[in-house]
Amino acid sequence: MEMYGFDAFSPAQIAEKVEKIGVAKARLPLLRMAMLGGLAGAFIGLGALYFVLIASDPGLGFAASRVLGGVAFSLGLLLVIVAGAELFTGNNLLVMAWAAGQITSRELLGNWAVVCAANFVGAAGLATLVWLSGHPAMNQGLVAEQVVRLAALKCAAPSGDLFWKGVLCNALVCMAVWMAMAGRSVADKAVAIVFPVSAFVAAGFEHSVANMYLLPLAMLLKDSVSPGIPMADALVWAGVLRNLGLVIAGNLLGGSVLVALVYHVIYRRSMA
């Protein structure tokens, strides 16, 4: 169906698709769900790896570094959407199927728990492989320093900042997933993904699954590069868990309420 002069699914059609896909995602076999969750964690980790490469270049100005790094980070969500994987933050859109009565609260929470845990395994697993590969030594060790610096700042950030940055981040991530569903080609989906994702990265918002890669990698690197890095003493496992807890909570609010429930009320409530 052509809508508004271009070939794309309309917002109402996207809402219907998101609801149907949410039912299918909630009822995936456990092993498949967990394996796809592991892949998504690794995919987002690859996007974060790409971002750090750009952010570690001291020759780039602030805006250029943030925007180019955000575009690079978009690789992660593009892999999730096109190659296929189960991402906790994107799966916050399952709330549309739940609100329509198509899946139960147990199915919703079960999907989130399994996928979030699998995302962590995939992201932390990639972090371990990257550490073993010696990749952080690139650019005279500036890549490793950037990972530790970013992670230290994330662990030392005020709780309110982490929560609300998590809200804003996943509102943009879920909008990227939503708009990608409007596209009929890989190119359509790529364009839909790049702008919201690069915006949240450039703005410094907090993505829980990206942090599942960056924080464990920083823990592996901190003893070799932390001296002289501000707030490096905040980089302890208690700080890592605090960050992830607050950011996951913020991501849930941003994706589930500000995107999924809003669009449910607009397009699907009368059909529930």
What confidence score (pLDDT) does residue 6 get? 64
pLDDT in tens, 158-173: 999 999 999 999 999 9
Percent residues over pLDDT 90 in the chain: 89
Token pair 């490469």 in the structure block, residue: 53
Percent residues over pLDDT 70 in the chain: 97
pTM over 0.85: yes
> What number does CATH give the domain 15-271?
1.20.1080.10
pLDDT in tens, 167-202: 999 999 999 999 999 998 999 999 999 999 999 999
In the predicted model, is pLDDT for residue 4 greater than 60?
no
**Of 109, 106, 103, 148, which Cα lies nearest the Cα of 127?**
148
Element (H or E) spanning 2, and its range?
A: strand 2-3
Q: How far apart are the first and last CA of the chain?
A: 24
Residue 1: how many other CB atoms lie within 10 Å: 7
